[in-house]
Structure 1
């Protein structure tokens, strides 16, 4: 049996279940500032703690939604180990993303993954559909939910 076929069977058994939860990551102001500088998004609600405390309902600065989403790859690397014969994983995109709760600077977040589907894309590739939920420690609602697509490439 090929490594792709073995991986397909492995993932098929996991469809509909939670497959992993990452470690907590603290969102601090230097991280937010670096993201703002890198992306050119220096809106004051992210980069000016004094003004954000005085003028927003958040009590201080908040992380960019896209910063929170960008942590997905790091979270996934903890939760999805390469299968035997897998030579790489490729981000294929997102079907849907919803930013539900702002992440206040100083908060901790983590990723939780549930496998929604797996299919054969080619004779060397599997397409994995995953529901990502980024939780905020102590918060009732998540920071975001996303339907994330990833390709696993195999070589025997």
Structure 2
């Protein structure tokens, strides 16, 4: 009887933990979407997007990137704007033009999503970042989330990073 009660409690607790982790993931997504909405509103109002909001536009995962890229879709309120392209350009230029160190790793992480219609511009910025300091790029690889997929993987091999 004691074993059955213990087993029942363990099963119940495992469901509680599972539920909490799902709630945490949903909360993270909500925070990203909140930031995306703030940036979108500022953009539509033609106001400057603060660096603290801009840096949080860099997606942490494929789901967040999907939400970010969805702003180019015809059904999205930003679909008729260049929000995605202009904000990604702003993020990359914080490194390439303004040399703001806090944007270095986020820019590399953003560049790891280079694909499709925006790939060419992402790759141009990635090359600018790498060519400005190849050693820094190589030393940063361990901190890049998607270092094992192209284009980051390609450029790490091209530059003989170890």
Higher relative contact order (CA 8 A, sep 6+): 1
- Does TM, scored on the shorter chain, surpass 0.5? no
Bigger strand share: 1
Compute the TM-score of the two structures, normalised by the length of structure 2. 0.25
Compute the TM-score of the two structures, normalised by the length of structure 1. 0.26
Choose 1 or 2 for highest CA Rg: 2
